[in-house]
Amino acid sequence: MARLTGAQMVLESLQREGVDTIFGYPGGVVLPLYDTLPQYPNIRHVLVRHEQGAAHMADGYARASGKMGVCLGTSGPGATNLVTGICTSWMDSTPVFALTGNVTRSLLGKDGFQEADITGITHSITKHNYLVMRPEEIPLSIREAAHICQTGRPGPVLVDIPKDVFQEEAEFDWPEQINLRGYKPTTEGHAGMIRRAAELINQATRPIIIAGHGVIWGDAHNELVELAEKADIPVITTFLGIGAFPESHDLSYGWLGMHGMFYANMAADHADLVIAIGMRFDDRAMGRFKDFNPGVKIVHIDIDPAEIGKNFPTAVPIVGNAKNVLPRLSDLTTEAEHQDWRGWIDQVREEHPSLHIRESRRMLPQYVVRTLYEETNGDATIVTGVGQHQMWAGQHYFYKRPRQLVTSGGLGTMGFELPAAIGAQIALPDAETWAICGDGGFQMTLQEMAVLVDENLPVKIAVFNNGYLGMIRQWQQLFYDKNLVSTAMTQPDFCKLADAYGIRAIRVETKAEVAPAIREAREHKGPILIDFQIDQEENVWPMVPAGAALSETIEAPAEELAR
């Protein structure tokens, strides 16, 4: 055992946990840690421009790679700036490890300069958090936190360390084992329940699989394909489940929900059996709960028992990791063909294609996404902000692999796009990474462009510039009698902004310039920004209006299609 300072212990422990990157921002109380960083050359520190960016970068890193992302902030404002990012990963169950400094122990609880009770503040948005009061407690605290973060249903954790604990020395004793009496995720799945689920699948005539984010986190996409093919079950995903099942597959019918495909919503609403895998029946996915497909039976596979029965009664609950449950379920299902049922959905899709892009001289945002899809051969990692552009990115790019779409679903955090793309690019340096940004959301975190330059990252920024908080404008137009209040925005010259940061930029004003600009961006080795001045009035369709049921999905009205 060696004697180390608390700061050394933190970095030593993180390194042992396999951490290679920390997204952080310094301040008084974390100076001992920054002072120690050069002793750990295997840990790369990425200096962000706002702590919210650090948390989103850690999140993007985690979502793109499956590994734990780490962010760091100083006490007080540094810590509170992380909160939006922590909550973003909390809502979407992603493994983010937040490290914060706090005031020296003698000042804790006395409103010391820049003291914030960050463990108290984050109780309800972390899986667990730690206030570490002694240096010798650092290794086990970090080990436990990292374990909790990445196992079971993943989720953010926070470790808060007072300044003098970083400075004090103690024996470094790396725990060989951990023992958490109160934390034992169920991963196997109950054999009897799996048998009952198989029986229901074997009897069903209109089964549908709704695959969610948990399939991606369980790394269970291959197992999902196997089950779907064997029992011939059509697959739709949630918005966060995009990529859990290849969208090019014959059995793929897109994603459901508020802006999901019409036929996906109808399929969910007409099925006699829903097999929900790693999804939590979010209201945006399901529409008005009480009128969702009356009479349907639900098999729910989820690693978190609390999700089962939370929003819908379940016929067969299976608590476990999709990775373990799906092969066992496949074994017990009989090979089947559901021609009639698939024929019915195919017919709906033919009559209501949802993803058809109309001919138009305008630069439709859907067209931009589709062109990007074609130009990148559908291989790029797409990271989005929140709003209309997010929905179009989900609809008009077709995803073939898990982790290909990185997007904030549950919290819907504008400003996620650029920092999350930076995290994703650092996690996968060779992946072509596009940040599809709203012109509104981009302005919430655009200062992180500096990080692109610092770290020389080839992220492609596509600003969907509609001069509006488009999604809100759409709601005002549809549900508030076209009373557009505070949603039009005078935008800065995004190209000049990029230029100011030393980033090349292209302005695209016409449809004809779209593909060439994308090509130019792809050829350019470094970061680049494209300001797509898209049609301003376009709305996202189909739509399940707020409070409506999936069966009430509305398609684009004729007058909009005539524009």
Partner 1 sequence: MNPSVNGSRKHHAQHTVVAIVEDKPGVLMRVASLFRRRGFNIESLTVGHSEAPGLSRMTIVVDGASAPVEQVEKQLYKLIDVVKVTDLSQEEMVARELVLLKVRCNNVNRHELLEIANVFRADVVDMATNSLILQVVGDEDKIDGLVKMCEPYGIRELSRTGRIAMVRGAKTTTVHEPEPEKIAKFHATQGRRVEGELPFSSD
Ligand X SMILES: Cc1cc2nc3c(=O)[nH]c(=O)nc-3n(C[C@H](O)[C@H](O)[C@H](O)COP(=O)(O)OP(=O)(O)OC[C@H]3O[C@@H](n4cnc5c(N)ncnc54)[C@H](O)[C@@H]3O)c2cc1C
- Active site amino acids: 51, 113-114, 163, 471
Distance CA 404, CA 406 (A): 6
Distance CA 20, CA 41 (A): 9
Q: Nearer Cβ to ligand TPP, position 156 or 438?
A: 438
Say which DSSP state 549 is in.
Answer: B
Task: Give the one residue of 2, 3, 39, 106 binding partner 1; rule: CB under 8 A.
Answer: 106
Q: How far is the CB of 322 from partner 1 (least distance, A)?
A: 19
For position 218 contacting ligand X by CB under 6 A, the verdict is yes
Q: Nearer Cβ to ligand X, position 74 or 413?
A: 413
Residues 522-561 that bind ligand X (CB under 6 A): none
Q: Nearer Cβ to partner 1, position 50 or 128?
A: 128
Out of partner 1, Mg ion, ligand X, none, which partner does residue 327 contact, by CB within 5 to 8 A per kind? Answer: none
Distance CA 491, CA 105 (A): 46
Residue whose structure tokens are 């014959």: 250
Residue whose structure tokens are 């959905």: 345
> Which residues does 27 contact at the CB level (< 8 Å), separation at least 6?
73, 74, 75, 76, 78, 101, 114
Q: How far is the CB of 423 from partner 1 (least distance, A)?
A: 26
For position 469 contacting ligand TPP by CB under 6 A, the verdict is yes
Distance CA 165, CA 101 (A): 9
Residues 179-208 that bind partner 1 (CB under 8 A): 179-183
Q: How far is the CB of 114 from partner 1 (least distance, A)?
A: 7
Out of partner 1, Mg ion, ligand TPP, none, which partner does residue 24 contact, by CB within 5 to 8 A per kind? Answer: none
Return the bridge partners of 171, or none. 3
Q: How far is the CB of 88 from ligand TPP (least distance, A)?
A: 10
Q: Nearer Cβ to ligand X, position 188 or 379?
A: 188
For position 60 contacting ligand TPP by CB under 6 A, the verdict is no
Distance CA 39, CA 71 (A): 19
Q: Nearer Cβ to ligand TPP, position 49 or 105?
A: 49
CA atoms within a 13 Å half-sphere pointing along the CA-CB vector of 43:
27
Strands (E), 43-155: 44-47, 69-73, 96-102, 128-131
Distance CA 534, CA 511 (A): 9
Evaluate the omega torsion of the peptide bond into residue 557 and state whether it is cis, within 30 degrees of 0.
no
Q: Nearer Cβ to ligand TPP, position 172 or 464?
A: 464
> Which residues does 495 contact at the CB level (< 8 Å), separation at least 6?
505, 506, 507, 529, 531
Among left, alpha and beta (phi > 0; psi -120 to 50; other), residue 500 is alpha
For position 410 contacting ligand X by CB under 6 A, the verdict is yes
Task: Give the one residue of 21, 36, 141, 474 binding partner 1; rule: CB under 8 A.
Answer: 141
3-state class of 478 per DSSP? helix
For position 175 contacting partner 1 by CB under 8 A, the verdict is yes
Measuring CA to CA, which residue among 509, 280, 279, 519 is closest to residue 376?
519
Handedness of CA 162, 167, 172, 174 (dihedral sign): positive
Query: Helices 51-65 & 417-427, crossing angle to 10 degrees?
Result: 50
Task: Give the one residue of 25, 90, 292, 468 binding ligand TPP; rule: CB under 6 A.
Answer: 468
Return the bridge partners of 319, or none. 302
| Site pattern 400..439 for ligand TPP (x: CB under 6 A) | ------------xxxx----------------------xx
Q: Nearer Cβ to ligand X, position 136 or 304?
A: 304
Q: Nearer Cβ to Mg ion, position 103 or 391?
A: 391
Return the bridge partners of 252, or none. 235
For position 213 contacting ligand X by CB under 6 A, the verdict is yes
Out of partner 1, ligand X, Mg ion, none, which partner does residue 140 contact, by CB within 5 to 8 A per kind? Answer: partner 1
> Which residues does 365 contact at the CB level (< 8 Å), separation at least 6?
388, 389, 392, 464, 466, 532, 534, 535, 538
Residue whose structure tokens are 């610092």: 454
Q: How far is the CB of 243 from ligand X (least distance, A)?
A: 11
Measuring CA to CA, which residue among 492, 420, 430 is closest to residue 461?
420
Token couple for 140: 């086990």
Say which DSSP state 409 is in.
Answer: -
For position 407 contacting partner 1 by CB under 8 A, the verdict is no
Residues in the interface with partner 1 (CB under 8 A) total: 44
Q: How far is the CB of 405 from ligand X (least distance, A)?
A: 12
Q: Contact region for ligand TPP (CB under 6 A) — 256-264, 453-461, 466-474, 552-560?
A: 466-474
Q: How far is the CB of 92 from ligand TPP (least distance, A)?
A: 14
For position 148 contacting partner 1 by CB under 8 A, the verdict is yes
Out of ligand X, Mg ion, ligand TPP, none, which partner does residue 472 contact, by CB within 5 to 8 A per kind? Answer: ligand TPP
Which residues contact partner 1 (rule: CB under 8 A)?
A: 27-29, 31, 75, 103-107, 112-114, 119-120, 123-124, 127-128, 130-134, 137, 140-141, 148, 163-164, 167, 175, 177-183, 304-306, 309-310
Which residue ranges make up the site for ligand X (CB under 6 A)? 92-93, 153, 212-214, 217-218, 238-241, 255-260, 278-280, 282, 284-285, 301-304, 307, 321-322, 386, 390, 409-410, 412
